[in-house]
Amino acid sequence: MRVNEKLDYREMDPSELDSNIPQGRGMIKWQPFATMPEQYERVAEMIEENAKVPAPTHDNETLVRLEEELRRSRGETVVLRYWNDGYEVQLECRIEYIADKAGMVVVSKGREAIHVQFKHIYEII
């Protein structure tokens, strides 16, 4: 091989190529990126946590007003705004039963019965 000759491995005879190529660091340099999926999951969890709202707190006057509205609307279809597991839910439903001792309101949406705690209700529309 001459000194001035171009050294392009694609143009060289395979027998002239050195097979003792150093291995390098392999996957070591890519290890920081292995945690990226976990980081994305954690960021998604943080965004979801920020979207949550606290449970409503009512004074006695508001509780009495909500209870009166519920009793008047029993058997009718209403829009019920209530808190469920950190989120505000708005549901068009029919008020079926008010369990005073348990503090629950049983509503139905189609064939499904839903139990809502009285203290979690925001509004009855």
Residues 5 and 99: their CA atoms lie apart, in Å, by: 94
Name residue, tokens 């999951």.
41
Name residue, tokens 């001035």.
4
pLDDT mean across residues, the chain: 86
Over residues 81-97, the pLDDT tens digits come to 999 999 999 999 999 99
Contact (CB, 8 A) for 95 and 73: yes
CATH of residue 79? 2.30.30.520
Residue ranges making up the domain that contains 42: 16-51
Q: Please, which residues have CB within 8 angstroms of residue 74's CB and are 6 or more apart in sequence?
A: 95, 96, 97, 98
Over residues 11-33, the pLDDT tens digits come to 878 777 777 777 766 666 656 66
Looking at the structure of the chain, the number of domains it has is: 2
Token digits for 27?
């996957």
Give the pLDDT band of residue 2 (cuts 50, 70, 90): low
84 and 31 in a single domain? The answer is no
45 and 64 in a single domain? The answer is no
Residue 1 lies in a domain: no
